[in-house]
Amino acid sequence: MISALSRLAAYFRSGACATAAACCAVSMTMFVPAASAQSVLSAPTPSGPLNSMAAAVNNVGIKQCRPQLTSLSTLGVQGTASNDLLLDWDHKRVNSSPVFSLIGLDYGSNAAAMSITAVPEADGSCSVLAERISAAPVACKTIATQELHGYRATPLLNQMTVYTDGKDPGSSVSLIDSPPGCLVIRRYVAFSKAASAH
């Protein structure tokens, strides 16, 4: 069975590609068995970019949602030349406060943004929301055809369609027509996600 995080890696990695065709190729190679998911979450090599979220969470002292924030941000910064962060939390209750973030992702020739929200739960777990926002230089129909074959399409507005896969109910891809390109929002939601769950 394919893990939700390995699917999320494919979503995030594919958005960094220059064309929808290249994105599709990366996406298909990233759909790995759950046993291989650990390699997807491995930390960047010393020559890779610093994960600004992981560094900030450690500096601030956030403990309960640290594993979830670090895992999701590690997926987001893979393949970047650099990244930077806006981070908001309640300074009076660091460990029990929701954490809101916006990560800027620089790929050299293009850029994207990733928003991660983590909410500590009473049982020690965290509910998380991660969204990666990017612009593709091709029409949304091209992305849908090449990357989202087999997904269910639900139109929200005339220019916006949400794609879901029943095998991964916590993830969705929203395509918003922005001629001549497409705004792509890849979304992942997990309620009461334990630190050790994948």
In three-state secondary structure terms, 73 is helix
What pLDDT is recorded for position 195?
66
Q: Taking the model in full, what pTM does it have? A: 0.75
65 with 84: CB under 8 angstroms?
no
What pLDDT is recorded for position 113?
97
Does residue 198 fall inside a structural domain?
Answer: no
What pLDDT is recorded for position 169?
86
- Euclidean distance between CA atoms 49 and 195, whole angstroms: 24
Q: Which residues of the chain have pLDDT under 70?
A: 1-48, 195-198
DSSP per position, 32-57: -BGGGHHHHTPPPPTTS---HHHHHH
Does residue 123 fall inside a structural domain?
Answer: yes
Does residue 103 fall inside a structural domain?
Answer: yes
Does residue 119 fall inside a structural domain?
Answer: yes
Query: Sign (positive/negative) of CA torsion 64, 58, 3, 107?
Result: positive
Give backbone dihedrals phi and psi of 101, rounded to 5 degrees, phi first: -145, 155
- Euclidean distance between CA atoms 193 and 124, whole angstroms: 9
24 with 146: CB under 8 angstroms?
yes
- Euclidean distance between CA atoms 137 and 149, whole angstroms: 19
58 membership: H or E segment, kind and range: helix 52-60
What pLDDT is recorded for position 193?
80
Does residue 184 fall inside a structural domain?
Answer: yes
Per-residue burial over 78-99, b if 16 or more Cβ lie within 10 Å, else e, is bbbeebebebebeeeeeeebeb
- Euclidean distance between CA atoms 128 and 69, whole angstroms: 8
What pLDDT is recorded for position 116?
97
pLDDT tens profile 35-77: 222 232 233 344 568 899 999 999 998 999 999 999 999 999 9
Domain count within the chain: 1
Range of the domain at 40: 4-193
Q: Beta strands of the chain (E only): which ranges?
A: 82-88, 99-106, 111-120, 126-136, 152-157, 160-164, 171-178, 181-193
Does residue 44 fall inside a structural domain?
Answer: yes
